[in-house]
Amino acid sequence: MNVLTTPFLTGTATGAILLLAALGLTLTFGQMGVINMANGEFLMVGAYAAYVTQQVISSPGLSTVVALPMAFIVAGLLGLLLEVAIIQWMYRRPLDTLLVTVGVSLVLQQLAQDVFGAQGDPVTAPSWLGGRISVFGYEWPHRQLFTIVLALGSLGALSAVLKYSSFGRKIRATVQNRELAETLGVSTRSIDRITFFLGSGMAGVGGVAIALISGTNPTLGTSYIIPAFLVVVVGGVGQLKGTVIAAWAVGVVTAFLTDQISGSWAQVITFALVVIFLTVRPQGLFTVRTRSLA
Amino acid sequence: MFRKPLRRPRLGIGAAVALSLIAAACGSDDKSSSSTSPASSPAGSPASTPATTPTSSGDAASGDTCVDGDSVELGFLNSTSGVMAISEQTVRDSLMLAAEEINAAGGIFGKQIKFIEEDGQSEPTIFAEKISKLLTEDKVAAVFGGWTSASRKAMLPVVEGANGLLFYPVQYEGLEASKNIYYTGATTNQQIIPAMDFLKSKGVKTLFLAGSDYVFPRTANKIIKQYAKELGIEIVGEEYVPLDSDDWTTQVAKIAAAKPDFVFNTINGSSNVGFIKAYDEAGLGPDNSPIISVSIAEEEAPSMGVDLTGQYAAWNYFESVDSPANTTFITAFQAKYGTDRPTSDPMEAAYTSLYLYKNIVEKAQSFCVDAVNAASGGVTFEAPEGLVTVNGENHHIAKTGLIGQINATNQFDIVWTSDGPIEPDPFLEGYSWWDPNAG
């Protein structure tokens, strides 16, 4: 019945966006010890990429399809720029990266505001996302289904890259033991950069999904960055399985509490649950079996 | 208050610092109505007493006008940077237009307006610092500006401590009356209550409340619920979403299930977009569960990404108001800033505030704060929205309540008007059904 299906389905869609936001974080934190508070702004950049694409290609259907790779590339390149310009000087200094990236996120927000204005711009969803399907009595919007498909598709692509490509093996090797990977001839510098590109690009794709929910605005990243970090710490740093389960769990629990109590209490209670969980299991759901000595 | 995403309220450190700086120069602590304070005798002997600095403590009794020379300095304090800039810049533009017009017509009480512009930076603490600077260093005669309730609350102790004047141009949640602030936007009984009267006249039986989770929607909905009981309208749901949250899908599913006759929308800022999209996706629209909003105006309507034609909004001014004063205002505004610029309720309220100040000063024959306060009651202005009158007791203004319906060009067709201007009642003392202590 509705009591359970509505929060379950809505929460799964929310979890899908959290997953897209958290994938980049878990990769960069796990691999490089970088706490990237500017990751939320890559969501924002992805959302604006969807908006700009729609200004060029007026057909909502085509522009949404084009916006996905566009957002991936634009946000990815911005992430790469951030890595090359700033982050590479402070690897393994998580607190410094935290402070610096908070600053970067403020700069990006103000920049977006100066370029696009604070009002926010509409992004028209294509008509095939406007419909609904009936699931156990709940009229489920297609757009949420699309978000889930998008997240699963991105996840599948990312895990395929990590698992099967030589490049993916190098990423995993770097996460497990950076020094050993280097002695085996892996250029961890270029691996770091590509990881940053991929992670930021994923957030950009998530931004397109957000643009379809709520349009664009310069501060939209700020409301996702904290939940995304919750997902990363609950899931366990540095690998995908935990992130997926944690994103889904945080999404569904929040939606259920929102449905039962209220949106504001849902945030509070979810946060409290995460704190309780972390006191019981500080390493998160799963941990990477690392062979580094540190 | 409203319409734009607010940052989380910061601690009032700036306000506290500013207060301590000016603690010495405080005026009277008398919180009661200004009408009892001593008025200056207009026919005093200004020539014999060289004018002292404006504002600061009330020198009204001495008979001087508190402003020397042939010009008067006023402070315009709006955010021209940060998240609120896009809204507050429109207010700044109207203020500058009004100043230009007043100067061209001879100024205020024969003195040309010189305005000092300050940027509140969308931060309440900055507002407190800047208004302190304007009142104590620049010694301006009055300050015009503020937008969010947080910015007003931060400025309130400073302006009271300095016994200055602030003209605040945005509709807000009421329950406030300072002798040092003039509120030219609507209080709740001029926007929320008229909206409920309109719903009653439409025969609405069931109402769903959707709002952002902060002071304005919570206060508004408290009033709505008590008045709905009085009117016999059933509240079938009440949902809040945090200000920074855009996802309304869960809540909108409840609206779709409840099938209310109307949805009362007190959502703020960009969260509206997520709400309107989810509402549209859920198959809701003006045909089955129309929305009445108090935060969507001419500027916001086109940015929703969904056609809003047929939905409603409650304000005290629409660009479509048919009056000679409004035609003049729109023509002058668009001549100065461009024909693509819409005019909105807070802009009109800001424009009106400067003219009201002019009229009050000219009635008082003085710029002194206490003299201005003594003279303010009953001062009128034929504003673009219609005739407005200052209430000398609570320093709000009588305004006409309007309901507009959005048409295809994102303008509002006015479908309901209150019976003349509504006397401001920020504490709802005149409404027997109102119990501030009830849930």
Element (H, E) at B73: strand B71-78
Question: For testing the chain B interface, which of A217, A225, A269, A270 should be mutated: the one with the most B CBs within 10 Å?
Answer: A217
Distance between CA atoms of residues B79 and B86, nearest Å: 8
Element (H, E) at B380: strand B380-383
Decide if A219 and B278 are in contact by the 8 Å CB cutoff.
no
Q: Are A127 and A141 in contact (CB under 8 A)?
A: no
Distance between CA atoms of residues A289 and B347, nearest Å: 61
Q: What was the pLDDT predicted at A290?
A: 57
Decide if A263 and B242 are in contact by the 8 Å CB cutoff.
yes
Q: What was the pLDDT predicted at B3?
A: 46
Task: Please provide the average confidence, as pLDDT, over all residues in chain A.
Answer: 88
A contacts of B5 (beta carbons < 8 Å):
217, 219
| Angle, in degrees to the nearest 10, between helices B249-258 and A240-260 | 40
A contacts of B213 (beta carbons < 8 Å):
262-264
Q: What was the pLDDT predicted at A288?
A: 62
Q: Are A217 and A118 in contact (CB under 8 A)?
A: yes
Q: What was the pLDDT predicted at A4?
A: 82
A143 to chain B, any CB pair closer than 8 A? The answer is yes
Q: What was the pLDDT predicted at B305?
A: 80
Q: What was the pLDDT predicted at B30?
A: 38
What is the Cα B101 distance to its own chain's centre?
Answer: 22
Question: For testing the chain B interface, which of A226, A258, A270 should be mutated: the one with the most B CBs within 10 Å?
Answer: A258
pLDDT class of A249 with cuts at 50, 70, 90 = very high
Q: What was the pLDDT predicted at A238?
A: 66
Q: Say how many C-beta atoms besides its own lie within 10 A of residue A253's C-beta.
A: 18
Task: Give the one of B4, B246, B306 whose C-beta lies nearest to A220's C-beta.
Answer: B246
Element (H, E) at B212: strand B206-212
Distance between CA atoms of residues B141 and B370, nearest Å: 12
B241 to chain A, any CB pair closer than 8 A? The answer is yes
B74 to chain A, any CB pair closer than 8 A? The answer is no
A237 to chain B, any CB pair closer than 8 A? The answer is no
Residue B321 main-chain phi, psi, to 5 deg: -55, 130
A7 to chain B, any CB pair closer than 8 A? The answer is yes
Q: Are B181 and B365 in contact (CB under 8 A)?
A: no
Decide if B245 and A143 are in contact by the 8 Å CB cutoff.
no
Q: In sequence order, what are the residues at sequence separation of 6 or more whose Cβ sits closer than 8 angstroms to the Cβ of residue B425? A: B187, B189, B394, B431
Q: Measure A232 CA to nearest chain B CA, in Å.
A: 20
B contacts of A117 (beta carbons < 8 Å):
86
Give the tens place of pLDDT for each residue, A35-81: 899 999 999 999 999 999 999 998 888 999 999 999 999 999 999 99
B contacts of A124 (beta carbons < 8 Å):
305
Distance between CA atoms of residues B249 and A223, nearest Å: 16
What is the Cα A143 distance to its own chain's centre?
Answer: 18
Distance between CA atoms of residues A205 and A17, nearest Å: 9
The dihedral formed by the CA atoms of B318, B323, B328 and B330, expressed in degrees to the nearest 10 = 20
Task: Give the one of B81, B241, B257 whose C-beta lies nearest to A263's C-beta.
Answer: B241
Decide if B246 and A214 are in contact by the 8 Å CB cutoff.
yes
Residue B394 main-chain phi, psi, to 5 deg: -110, 0
A287 to chain B, any CB pair closer than 8 A? The answer is no
Decide if B274 and A213 are in contact by the 8 Å CB cutoff.
yes
Give the tens place of pLDDT for each residue, A209-225: 999 888 888 888 888 99
The low-confidence residues of chain B, meaning pLDDT below 70, are 1-63, 439
Decide if B246 and A7 are in contact by the 8 Å CB cutoff.
no
How far are the Cα atoms of A274, A282, B6, B139, B343 from residue A268, in angstroms, in the given order?
Answer: 10, 20, 19, 45, 39
Q: Say how many C-beta atoms besides its own lie within 10 A of residue A30's C-beta.
A: 24
A121 to chain B, any CB pair closer than 8 A? The answer is yes
A122 to chain B, any CB pair closer than 8 A? The answer is yes
For residue A92, give both structure tokens: 């393994």
Identify the DSSP state of A259. H
Give the tens place of pLDDT for each residue, A124-177: 888 888 788 888 878 888 888 999 999 999 999 999 998 999 988 998 888 888
Q: In sequence order, what are the residues at sequence separation of 6 or more whose Cβ sits closer than 8 angstroms to the Cβ of residue A185? A: none
Residues 194-213 of A with CB under 8 A from B: 210, 212-213
Q: Say how many C-beta atoms besides its own lie within 10 A of residue B70's C-beta.
A: 9
pLDDT class of A291 with cuts at 50, 70, 90 = low
Decide if A215 and B305 are in contact by the 8 Å CB cutoff.
yes
Q: What was the pLDDT predicted at B110?
A: 93
A contacts of B270 (beta carbons < 8 Å):
120, 214-215, 217, 219-220
What per-residue string of b and e applies to B160-177 under the rule 16 or more CB within 10 Å gives b? bbbbbbbbbbbbbbbebb
ipTM associated with this complex: 0.78
Q: What was the pLDDT predicted at B87?
A: 82
Give the tens place of pLDDT for each residue, A2-41: 678 888 998 999 999 999 999 888 888 878 888 899 999 9
Decide if A121 and B303 are in contact by the 8 Å CB cutoff.
yes
pLDDT class of A251 with cuts at 50, 70, 90 = very high
Task: Give the one of B213, B247, B257 whose C-beta lies nearest to A2's C-beta.
Answer: B257
CB neighbour class for A293 (10 Å; exposed up to 12, middle 13-18, buried from 19)? exposed
What per-residue string of b and e applies to B328-351 under the rule 16 or more CB within 10 Å gives b? ebbebbeeeeeeebbbbbbbbbbb
Query: pTM of the predicted model, to two decimals?
Result: 0.80
For residue B366, give both structure tokens: 């003085």
Identify the DSSP state of B396. B
Element (H, E) at A64: helix A60-85
Decide if A259 and B277 are in contact by the 8 Å CB cutoff.
no
Considering only CA atoms, which of A219, A238, A217, A268 is closest in space to residue A22?
A238
B307 to chain A, any CB pair closer than 8 A? The answer is no
Nearest residue in B to A252, CA atom: B250
Identify the DSSP state of B304. G
Q: Are B175 and B347 in contact (CB under 8 A)?
A: no
B184 to chain A, any CB pair closer than 8 A? The answer is no
For residue A85, give both structure tokens: 């310009």
Decide if A213 and B246 are in contact by the 8 Å CB cutoff.
yes
Q: Say how many C-beta atoms besides its own lie within 10 A of residue B96's C-beta.
A: 19
